[in-house]
Chain A
Amino acid sequence: MPTLPNKPPVCVHGLRKAYSDVVAVDDLDLEVRAGECFGLLGPNGAGKTTTIEICEGLLAPDAGTVELLGMRWENDAPELRQRLGVQLQETQLSEKLTVDETVRLFRSFYRCGPSVAEVIAMVQLEEKRSSRVGGLSGGQKQRLAMACALVGDPDLLFLDEPTTGLDPQARRQLWELIERFKTEGRTIILTTHYMDEAERLSDRVAIMDHGKVIALGTPRELISSIGAEHMVAFAMDGGGAAPLNLASLESLDGVRVARCENGGYELQVRELHRAVAALFEETARRGIVVTELRTHSATLEDVFVSLTGRHLRDE
């Protein structure tokens, strides 16, 4: 891929954007390396979309600089638009056009790139080529939006919440598609509030909250940073039983952190087999019946919870 030697394709420094009532992006720095898929993970309202839209040249920042492929929006906007592929959240393409006509329209804006048929094949919409956009499923529409982002053979691809609102099967299809773009060596920036999406697709992840990056690294690094590999969640039966003391739970063998969670408890655990055994010993000693015991390997979601005390999708 044609990117400049030594210089990351995306350099963002001191970015700031405030709306009348809220600071959406607060002194943000980011560097994305050539050929990597970079995930911006965070809850709704964390500033992901504002950040990505500033990078796409759709919003002007209040302060800070954005340098993409060695260019700036102030000086090189037309050239940058030629080299960027953009997929926005919630764009509705014209329902009365066919897939082919839509891709052909977007293709006409770019100097060079693959043919219309090639792009449609890339997103696996060959069979729907002459169908109206209005008749496509949500996943197919999203793949069409992806096709419109790819028509200019972009060096940098921005995907803003590409799978939000899709059913699980459509999401998996889209993930496979994005994984294929990764192997083609493109630099991709992806925003999502799905931790599984970020974990599966991203080489590196920046976790955002309140307009700031609160953690940055590969998904593995981030997960191991909380020092626990497993999560144990349980609830207990018995209205009469005295609530468990968090400190006493944390003193159990193998348990790192304990927190209350939806009327139950959640433990971050280093060694699952020892912690669970210790937990049952403790509850049996107190005469408490444990219900709904669940365990899972730690995820980016748990990283977010341990950093902020909140979930990515707090309803």
Chain B
Amino acid sequence: MSEGTVVAQQMRPAAERRPLVEHALVQLTLVRFREFWREPEAVFWVFIFPILLATGLGIAFRNRPADVVKIGAVGPQLAAALRTEKSLAVDVLDLAAGEQALRAGRIVLLATPAAGGGVTYHFDDTNPEARNARMLVDRTVQHAAGARDAVPVTDALVREPGSRYIDFLVPGLLGMNLMGSGIWGLGFAIVDARRKKLLKRLIASPMPRSQYLLSFLLSRLTFLYVEVAALVVCGALVFGVPVRGPIWELALLCLISSVSFSALGLLIASRVRTIEGASGLMNLVMLPMWIFSGVFFSADRFPAMFQPFVRALPLTAVIDALRAHMLQGAGLSQLGPQLAVMSGWLIVCFFTALKLFRWR
């Protein structure tokens, strides 16, 4: 420090004591809150939209009672025999009308009497429902003719929450939401501030630069828990979607996921100067994850050769971990691979972003 500084400092009054709310980090974080709440669209997309989506899909894919299978039978005798099975809806038709109905898909199977007291089944063996119908019809026909089960069996029905589509969907939407708000939330705000030369103005002031980034993290963490709680509580109350693992582990999982996605957002925003550039880059990064990471269907459905790529995506790890935790009650110790993928992305993105970041 030069001699001039010492003299100059002696002339200035010492730093004043100030209440907590006047500290830079608190003020920067308050700015983040205010900018968010004063943007109604952001509130909609982050909080309302995922709940609407979950509700809509939940209704569309709700569990119905086991379906009744529609079949046709030629001749009243055969029809009467088949009607003893409750899950078959039997139409009595003549052969021509029956074939017509089969072709039109109004029935999936047509049973006709054959020579020698036999029965012929007309059906499309590539249609799973028709194959299912054939088994049902055949069992009914055999039983009606006096066949008996060699082994006595009883059915114990399991319709437990946790294995329905809505149970599968809610963790997927949660992961997607964490990704969206992490990447957009951080990326957009930074690119917008750079575009407006606000970043440049801020670094011309004595603002501690690390606190600027920290304010994003703090506000993210606050919103994170509001948005996770909204979706999880809504899923639990409306559809009975379970959270089987300890709640603090869910909180920790969401925290790690959100911080990883925020780091990815920071990396995307490290150089871009325009909103268009940022949107393009963000969509480029998020699109593969929307498709491959198993938000709406299992990522296992992709061919084996894609799996290493699919498994390396941060959203796949997040969704896998959330599903395992919420639906199977898996503890963090069982989620090692997923946590490793998330932390890997976090570390690589964060340090690359710090290296690339431009305030101007």
Residues of A within 8 A of B (CB): 2, 4, 7, 56-58, 69-72, 75-76, 78-79, 81-84, 86, 88, 90-94, 96-97, 101, 104-112, 148, 152
Contact = CB atoms under 8 A, between A and B. Distances in A.
A9 B92 CA distance: 105
Given A79-B5, A112-B13, A94 B31 contact: yes
B7 A4 contact: yes
B197 to A, nearest CB: 5
Interface SS of A by simple majority: loop
A70 B3 contact: yes
A58 B7 contact: no
Contact of A107 (B9, B12, B22): B22
B207 interface: yes
Nearest to B37: A96
Interface residues of B, number: 39
Contacts of B200: 58, 88, 91
B35 A92 contact: no
B360 interface: yes
8 contacts: A2-B12, A70-B5, A108-B24, A108-B27, A110-B205, A112-B12, A112-B16, A152-B205
Contacts of B201: 86, 88, 91, 93, 148
Contact of B8 (A69, A104, A107): A69
Contact of B205 (A81, A92, A94, A104): A81
Contacts of A105: 27-28, 31
A78 B205 CA distance: 9
B197 A88 contact: yes
A94 B35 contact: yes
Nearest to B196: A92
B116 interface: no
Given A96-B34, A104-B27, A112-B13, A91 B198 contact: yes
Contacts of B80: none
Contacts of A88: 197, 200-201, 204
B34 A101 contact: yes
A70 B8 contact: yes
A90 B199 CA distance: 12
A97 B8 contact: no
B2 A72 contact: yes
A75 B360 CA distance: 22
B4 A108 contact: no
A97 B12 contact: no
B203 interface: yes
B218 to A, nearest CB: 15
B8 A109 contact: no
Contact of A93 (B12, B15, B198, B208): B198
Given A91-B200, A97-B35, A111-B16, A75 B205 contact: no
A71 B3 CA distance: 9
Interface string B161-201: 00000000000000000000000000000000100111011
Interface string B220-246: 000000000000000000000000000
B214 to A, nearest CB: 14
Contacts of B30: 101
A93 to B, nearest CB: 7
B204 A56 contact: yes
Interface in B8-27: 8-9, 11-16, 22-24, 26-27
Residue among B2, B204, B208 with the most chain A CB within 10 A? B204
Contacts of A56: 204
B2 A75 contact: yes
A6 to B, nearest CB: 11
B67 interface: no
